Amino acid sequence: MTSLPALRDMDWVKSSYSAPNGGECVEWAPERASATGIVPVRDSKCTDGSVLMVSAHAFAGLVTLARNTDVS
């Protein structure tokens, strides 16, 4: 199990699907995902909050959902 401080210290990347107005801001940690196959996901507005850990397969499903969702 990874401690929360260790998760906070990772390099996080904001999703290209996050709204440019500071709205739905989702970040993920690709280096951790590459190393473990588990993708950490968090709300960029709440960096001290919870981190969702999903399999690479589940993360791919989330990306597909984001691509197919009309946000207008």
Three-state DSSP string of 9-65? CCCCEECCCCCCCCCCCEEECHHHHHHHCEEEEEECCCCCCCCEEEEHHHHHHHHHH
* pLDDT at position 1 over 60: no
Contact of 47 with 8, CB cutoff 8 Å: yes
- Any bridge partners for residue 9, and if so which? none
pLDDT digits (tens, 9 = 90+) for 19-69: 666 566 889 999 988 899 999 999 888 888 889 999 999 999 988 987 887
Neighbours of 55 (CB within 10 A): 13
pLDDT band at 3 (very low <50, low <70, confident <90, very high): low
Enter the pTM of the model.
Answer: 0.74
